[in-house]
Chains A and B, each alone.
Chain A
Amino acid sequence: NAGVTQTPKFQVLKTGQSMTLQCAQDMNHEYMSWYRQDPGMGLRLIHYSVGAGITDQGEVPNGYNVSRSTTEDFPLRLLSAAPSQTSVYFCASSLRDRVWGEANSPLHFGNGTRLTVT
């Protein structure tokens, strides 16, 4: 199993450009999420999904779109990149607890995408 795969590893964008960060998992995890990591800010949740066709906003969703057409894939789209979106982005997935409807299982993280917007 590859686990959680993120591409690309590095990306440089100019302000106003758009791009998609890819995330795929092969563990049949229902719960997937995107975090951004900035110095001193920890990991902040951007968007998450509890299953195919279902997405919801996290703490910092502005400027980002997501979709979940399949269980395996959860791409993150930057519509018009801004310097404030310079960050390291992590995709993470986990099983979803069917009893409580909450993802109590551990998160499995991808290796991250380092994005710079100039």
Chain B
Amino acid sequence: GQQVMQIPQYQHVQEGEDFTTYCNSSTTLSNIQWYKQRPGGHPVFLIQLVKSGEVKKQKRLTFQFGEAKKNSSLHITATQTTDVGTYFCAGRRQGAQKLVFGQGTRLTINP
């Protein structure tokens, strides 16, 4: 079945350092979504990428979708303590209805 792998599982950085999490799918995706979950909270939608090679930015966050539509990344520039949480990618295989999540990357920050 469809698998979405996300690395790293954990990342600890000093405030102000950059952070990147990577997402890889075993199958070609129709789209990929990114979510953020604060500690004790529920996942909240950040962004969706649909086109091959697409790059989108939200302030300090940069999202990329690979040319083959099988991988994606989220990069945070100059992390702040408000970035703490777990970041999930979620992908849907072409023609499928269900959304499959990666294992998530838990980001902690040393102020």
A107 to B44, CA, bound (A): 8
Partner of A104, one of B43, B48, B104: B48
Q: Count how many chain B residues have C-beta atoms less than 8 Å from C-beta atoms of the other chain.
A: 27
B104 pairs with A42, CB closer than 8 A: yes
A102 pairs with B9, CB closer than 8 A: no
A102 pairs with B103, CB closer than 8 A: no
B44 pairs with A33, CB closer than 8 A: no
B 49-71 contacts with A by CB, 8 A: 50
Contact with B along A14-41 (1 / 0, CB 8 A): 0000000000000000010101000011
Which residue on chain B has the smallest CB distance to residue A57?
Answer: B98
B99 pairs with A45, CB closer than 8 A: yes
- Given contacts A43-B88, A107-B43, A107-B45, are A33 and B102 in contact (CB under 8 A)? no
A100 to B50, CA, bound (A): 13
A42 pairs with B102, CB closer than 8 A: yes
Write the residues of chain B forming the contact surface with A, with a CB cutoff of 8 angstroms: 1, 6, 9, 30-31, 33, 35, 41-45, 48, 50, 88, 90, 92, 95-104
